[in-house]
């Protein structure tokens, strides 16, 4: 990769795709078959929420992957870069779209911190 700008764009896209898969509500349907959210009442009366990975074997492996930001990030980065290497006409617009969304999320975080 000789272009630092493309590396930056790919990094932003990977960041945004990873957050989309691991955290965003809109993709919770992807995580639901692999995760269970359990609420537990503590001794002081507060409620704690825990994520429990469902199943065994491949189901558990996917559940663990989807609950780990760093693990999912590696797969997202590899998928985006590999897709771009194999099919750039399709993946380049997708990468740029995700990079714009990633940049917007950084800006929104800054605005929220300053407000």
Query: Residues 86, 4: contact at Cβ < 8 Å?
Result: no
What pTM value is reported for the model?
A: 0.85
Measure the CA angle with vertex 78, ends 35 and 68; round to 5°.
25
Residue 115: predicted pLDDT: 87
Residues sharing a CB contact under 8 Å with residue 95, sequence separation 6 or more, in sequence order: 9, 10, 13, 80, 84
Beta carbons within 10 angstroms of residue 12's beta carbon: 21
Distance CA 53, CA 26 (A): 19
Measure the CA angle with vertex 52, ends 73 and 31; round to 5°.
50
Residue 1: predicted pLDDT: 63
74-97 per-position pLDDT tens digit: 999 999 999 999 999 999 999 999
1-52 per-position pLDDT tens digit: 679 999 999 999 999 999 999 999 999 999 999 999 999 998 898 999 999 9
């Amino acid at each position: 990769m000789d272009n630092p700008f493309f590396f930056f764009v790919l990094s932003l896209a990977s960041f945004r795709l990873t957050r989309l898969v691991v955290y965003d509500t809109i993709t919770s349907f992807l995580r639901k078959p692999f995760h269970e959210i359990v609420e537990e009442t503590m001794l002081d009366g507060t409620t704690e929420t825990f994520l429990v990975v469902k199943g065994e074997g491949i189901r558990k492996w996917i559940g663990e992957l989807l609950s780990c930001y760093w693990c999912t990030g590696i797969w997202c980065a590899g998928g985006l870069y590999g897709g771009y290497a194999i099919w750039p006409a399709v993946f380049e617009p997708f990468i740029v779209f995700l990079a714009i969304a990633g940049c917007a999320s950084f800006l929104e975080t800054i605005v929220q911190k300053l407000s």
